[in-house]
């Protein structure tokens, strides 16, 4: 079934082709059948807010299609994008388990299909299915390890150029382009949003891209960025 946003909605988790690739979705059939009874499949347009930092947890959001940016905001209005969540990830998990407010804001950057589960239903589901509890523990562990990697990359990098180079290399791996001689990246984020991911200004990101293009490290083809000199980009990432 097509949604108003052009998404082909996945009606049932039991027949979803992504099950083998998503740690939380690949549950035994009995658990998935129970999950089917409590989830609400919803389509969102680009730019929709799923939840806001500091909001009381309403439940979890299983991202089926599309991407969501996860960000935090300081008291003076500065924004830091922590991650771009991909299909298969569970958002709002730690807040829903702990009962504490959502620790970040989740905003769609593509049209998305999301399966929402109310917190009380989700907690009851975990009590009834031990396999789901284990998957939640694995998800929370992975999120912790990922946060440590992000903090290490952001906090221990010496320059904005190093942070940007590391981010671009990370994206090539996520897109399955890491082994190619000239990887391609589809840039869905603005220079402002990229700056928010590496803790710098939009002007700095624009200048760094201009320098990379001048040195023929990267080449822009519309919204696609081609890594022309991966060796030079790796050198920037280790300065």
pLDDT tens, residue by residue, 47-104 = 999 999 999 999 999 999 999 999 998 877 788 888 899 888 999 999 999 999 999 9
Nearest one of 46, 43, 86, 92 to 67, comparing CA atoms: 86
What CA–CA distance (Å, rounded) separates 72 from 79? 6
For the chain, what percent of residues have pLDDT higher than 70? 95
Distance of CA 59 to the CA centre of its chain: 18
Domain limits, CATH 2.60.120.10, in the chain: 13-156
Specify the pTM.
0.79
Tokens of 119: 């917190």
Superfamily (CATH H level) for 13-156: Jelly Rolls (2.60.120.10)
What are the tens digits of pLDDT across the range 150-208? 777 666 667 899 989 989 998 898 888 888 889 999 888 899 999 988 888 999 999 99
CATH 1.10.10.10 residue spans of the chain: 160-237
Q: Which residue has the tokens 């709002």?
A: 92
Compute the CA torsion angle 162, 165, 171, 172 (nearest 10 deg).
Answer: -140
Task: Name which CATH class applies to 160-237.
Answer: mainly alpha
């Amino acid at each position: 079934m097509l949604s108003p946003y052009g998404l082909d909605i996945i009606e049932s988790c039991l027949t979803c082709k992504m099950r083998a690739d998503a740690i939380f979705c690949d549950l035994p059939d009995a658990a998935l059948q129970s999950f089917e009874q409590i989830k609400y499949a919803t389509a969102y347009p680009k730019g929709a807010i799923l939840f806001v930092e500091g909001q009381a947890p309403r439940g979890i959001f299983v991202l089926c299609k599309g991407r969501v940016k996860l960000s935090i905001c300081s008291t003076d209005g500065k924004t830091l994008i922590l991650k771009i969540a991909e299909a298969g990830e569970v958002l709002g998990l730690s807040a829903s388990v702990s009962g504490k407010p959502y620790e970040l804001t989740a905003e769609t950057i593509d049209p998305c299909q999301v399966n929402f589960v109310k917190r009380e239903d989700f907690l009851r589901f975990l009590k009834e299915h031990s396999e789901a509890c284990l998957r939640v523990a694995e998800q929370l562990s992975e999120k912790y390890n990922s946060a440590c990697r992000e903090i290490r990359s952001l906090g221990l990098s010496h320059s904005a150029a190093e942070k940007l180079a590391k981010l671009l290399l990370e994206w090539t791996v996520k897109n399955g382009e890491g082994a190619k001689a000239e990887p391609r990246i589809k840039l869905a984020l603005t220079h402002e949003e990229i700056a928010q991911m590496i803790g710098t200004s939009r002007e700095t990101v624009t200048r760094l891209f201009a320098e990379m293009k001048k040195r023929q490290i990267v080449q822009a083809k519309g919204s696609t960025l081609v890594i022309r000199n991966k060796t030079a980009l790796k050198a920037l990432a280790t300065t």
